[in-house]
Amino acid sequence: MRQLIMWNLITLDGYFEGEKNWDLPWHEKVWGEELERFSLDQLQSTDMLVFGRVTYEGMAAYWQTAKGAVADYMNSLPKVVCSRSLQTAGWNNTTLMKDNVVQEVARLKQQGNGNMFVFGSANLSKTLMNENLFDEYRIGIAPIIHGSGRLLFSDGVKPQGLQLLEACSHSTGCVILRYRADRIA
Q: Averaged over 98-114, what is the pLDDT?
A: 92
Contact 36, 175 (CB under 8 A): no
Residue 142 makes CB contacts below 8 A (sequence gap 6+) with 9, 10, 11, 12, 26, 27, 29, 30, 173, 174
* Band of pLDDT at residue 172, cut at 50, 70 and 90: very high
Evaluate whether 51 touches 80 at the Cβ level (below 8 Å).
yes
Mean pLDDT of the chain: 93
pLDDT, average across residues 113-123: 91
Nearest-angstrom CA–CA distance, 95 and 37: 27
| pLDDT tops 70 at residue 98 | yes
Q: Quote the pTM value.
A: 0.93
Give CA–CA dist 18/15, Å, rounded: 7
At residue 22, the pLDDT reads 85
Residue 113 has pLDDT above 90, yes or no: no
SS3 track for 129-159: HHCCCCCEEEEEEECCCCCCCEECCCCCCCC
Domains of the chain: 8-174 (3.40.430.10)
Residue-wise pLDDT for 14-40, tens only, equals: 999 999 988 899 999 999 999 999 999
Q: What is the pLDDT of residue 183?
A: 66
Asked whether the beta carbons of 82 and 27 are under 8 A apart, the reply is no
- Which pLDDT band, with edges at 50, 70 and 90, does 120 fall under? confident
CA torsion 139-39-180-156 (nearest 10°) is 40
Quote the CA–CA distance of 9 and 174 in Å, as a whole number.
9
Over the stretch 86-95, which tens digit does the pLDDT of each residue have?
A: 998 999 999 9
